[in-house]
Chains A and B, each alone.
Chain A
Amino acid sequence: DQQVKQNSPSLSVQEGRISILNCDYTNSMFDYFLWYKKYPAEGPTFLISISSIKDKNEDGRFTVFLNKSAKHLSLHIVPSQPGDSAVYFCAASSAYGNKLVFGAGTILRVKS
């Protein structure tokens, strides 16, 4: 049973436009959410996170939005750059553990 779902396997965006990556979760105990980026043949690297007490967190071109009632979060990248082309993983954790539960990932392609 997938507790964290990324329903879009891939997304293609033109350079300079906005990329929106979506993530849904089912476990209401999750209270911390993270986004990771992964290039081929490299390990995932942390991008941005959000606590459930917030509904938005911004870091440069990256913004994460959290809608707790809908159990949905999204990552916005503005403006998108070719170097943003990678696999993006959504992950969630609860206060009761040190573990992360990851989604299946979304492949983002930014075309120049």
Chain B
Amino acid sequence: DVKVTQSSRYLVKRTGEKVFLECVQDMDHENMFWYRQDPGLGLRLIYFSYDVKMKEKGDIPEGYSVSREKKERFSLILESASTNQTSMYLCASSLFPEDSPSPYEQYFGPGTRLTVT
């Protein structure tokens, strides 16, 4: 079974703090993704990476950065947390579609509920 783990289930931070969210997958997947989930807005892509040290902006990258130094690990960084970044953050991983028996299927971690006060 694919396992995607996230460093924290719940996190409370203060405005202006630098926040690190860590994600690790154990299935040697090339692609990794960071989303945020907000009521009525679904899952919105923040950043994704298709290889070590490679990153691409998603739909809402402002206020975030990412790091992928190892294939299995993808970190999301909030440089200076703000209250509008209070959300559920979800990490996911996947194979390249041509390598997968289930193309485009992404495997998700349990999520981190971040509250910024």
Whether A49 contacts B105 by the Cβ 8 Å rule is: yes
A9 interface hit (Cβ, 8 Å): yes
* Residue of A6, A46, A93, A98 most packed against chain B (CB within 10 A): A98
Chain B residues contacting A105 (CB-CB under 8 Å) are 42
Question: Closest CB-CB distance, B62 to chain A, in whole Å?
Answer: 17
CB contact under 8 A between A44 and B40, given known A98-B31, A99-B45, A99-B48: no
B103 interface hit (Cβ, 8 Å): yes
Whether A42 contacts B40 by the Cβ 8 Å rule is: no
B16 interface hit (Cβ, 8 Å): no
Whether B110 contacts A100 by the Cβ 8 Å rule is: no
Whether B104 contacts A49 by the Cβ 8 Å rule is: yes
Whether A49 contacts B102 by the Cβ 8 Å rule is: yes
Whether B45 contacts A46 by the Cβ 8 Å rule is: no
Question: Closest CB-CB distance, A88 to chain B, in whole Å?
Answer: 11
Whether B96 contacts A98 by the Cβ 8 Å rule is: yes
Chain A residues contacting B104 (CB-CB under 8 Å) are 32, 34, 49, 91, 93, 98, 100
CB < 8 Å neighbour of A43 from B58, B96, B105, B108: B108
Chain A residues contacting B43 (CB-CB under 8 Å) are 44, 89, 91, 102
**What count of chain B residues pass the 8 Å CB interface test?**
30
B50 interface hit (Cβ, 8 Å): yes
CB contact under 8 A between A43 and B42, given known A34-B105, A49-B102, A49-B105: no
Closest to A9 in B: B40
Whether B40 contacts A43 by the Cβ 8 Å rule is: no
The digit string for B30-66, where 1 denotes a CB below 8 A from any CB of A, is 0101010000111111001010000000100000000
Question: Closest CB-CB distance, A97 to chain B, in whole Å?
Answer: 9
Chain A residues contacting B58 (CB-CB under 8 Å) are 99
The docked-state distance in angstroms from the alpha carbon of A49 to that of B9 is 28
| Interface set of A (CB-CB < 8 Å, partner B) | 6, 9, 32, 34, 36, 41-46, 49, 51, 89, 91, 93, 95, 98-105
